Amino acid sequence: MSTMMHAALGVWILSAVVCLGRGHHHEGHTDGSLSHVSTGNKEFAFRLYRQLAAHSKNQDKNIFYSPSSVSVAFAALSVGAREETLQQLLSGLGYNSSQVTQNDINRAFSMILKRQENSSDINEGTAVFLDNTIQPKPEFLKDLKESFYTDVSNVNFQQTTESADTINKYVADKTHGKIDKLVKKLDAGTIMYLISYIYFKGMWNSPFDAKLTKEDEFTVDENTKVAVQMMNKEDRFDVYHDLAINTTILRLPFNSSYSMLLLLPDSMEALEKEIGPEHVTKWSKWMKERMYDVYIPKLSIKTDYALKEVLIEMGMTHMFDNRADLSGILEGKNILVSDAVHQATLDIDETGATAAAATGVEITLMSFQHVPVLKFNRPFMLLVTENTTDDILFLGKIINPTI
């Protein structure tokens, strides 16, 4: 049967992510498969960043996204992938299929998603919205429920507006309203949506004093300066200056086991070219606490990405064309991924940080006291990481904090 006959059918995978700052401690990676998956996730985070930064439409723009969100979404998709499609997915995500099995990956993500247990500050999971006319393979749904905390619901995708509203309400509820319009347009031929979400809320371990926040200038580029509300605090901070990449790294801890790393480079281009997981590990090890007079802009930004082209460039090609083998999802149907999107938001103020993201993948049938000043008044990068594992929840670059 020709795959072209089924081009109208579709599956979407989306993920929604929110970060405010106050996380919680979870166990270190002692399991071998979890360690391998965690390493792959970190490498994927920076490879995806470089692809996003290289695209002309993203140049000179803020970049912010959740690599964790994207990894969860496509790891869930891998449950239903087979043959070369599966190999490309695993390789693209940073996993070596000769070292880990699908069961290892499922188990690793189950452990990763257990970060939410015994905490009111972080909420992670997935959801599947199925068209009433289809019945996925029982083992596919079983693996999603057991490993990815999947909620399963039935909808009538022929009713496109109502179905989109149902999905958007679910995502908005899980992300506390940060992502409220994830589905903008819904094809009547859609057969499934798979959503992954993470909500992470937190406060700075040592808040900024709002009375010290003043208007200041932020240099976007040599021709552009914008007015920002600049937060200020003189205190003891963990700081490291990486001479190899001429970048100063500031760690702002949340009152939990999570931190935000702010990276102020001499050359953003050089930093983007060189940065990788090994840098985060090095900084965590060598940071020293000392007095600094720190200035950080308050900001509220939103980003939106089409990921299909980016993922194809990263080697995940088969799932987007007629070579796709997603036969682990549905019996007797040729389905493929037709699109992938990601949205994210970030807010930073005196009390903490808030971030949100969503990933969609459409699948279709076929000073005076000598206190040094550290002022983030020009483009900088930032990460939200877990202190004991260096897992990366969020990653981005702030070019202009006012847009």
Residues 208-266: tens digit of each pLDDT: 999 999 999 999 999 999 999 999 999 999 999 999 999 999 999 988 878 999 999 99
**Could you give the 3-state DSSP secondary structure of residue 243?**
coil
Cross-strand bridge partners of residue 254: 204
CATH class of 205-297+368-398: mainly beta
The pLDDT of residue 278 = 96
The pLDDT of residue 364 = 52
Domain ranges of the chain: 3-202+300-365, 205-297+368-398
Homologous superfamily of 3-202+300-365: Antithrombin, subunit I, domain 2 (3.30.497.10)
The pLDDT of residue 69 = 84
- pLDDT profile of the chain (403 residues), mean per 10: 35 52 39 85 96 83 90 92 95 92 93 72 80 90 93 90 91 85 78 78 86 96 95 96 95 87 96 95 94 94 86 93 90 78 82 66 53 95 90 93 91
What is the b/e burial string over 180-207, where b = at least 16 CB atoms within 10 angstroms of the residue's CB?
eebbeebbebbbbbbbbbbbbbbbbeee
Report d(CA 109, CA 107) in Å as an integer. Answer: 6
The pLDDT of residue 103 = 93
Report d(CA 403, CA 394) in Å as an integer. Answer: 18
> Model pTM greater than 0.85?
yes
The pLDDT of residue 363 = 54
Positive or negative: CA dihedral 139, 144, 145, 150: negative
**In this predicted model, what pLDDT tens digit does every residue of 58-114 receive, in sequence order?**
778 999 998 988 899 899 999 999 999 999 999 999 999 888 999 999 999 998 888
Instruction: Dump strand ranges (E) for 52-177.
Output: 63-65, 122-131, 150-155
Question: Per the structure block, which two tokens stand in for 390?
Answer: 């260096």
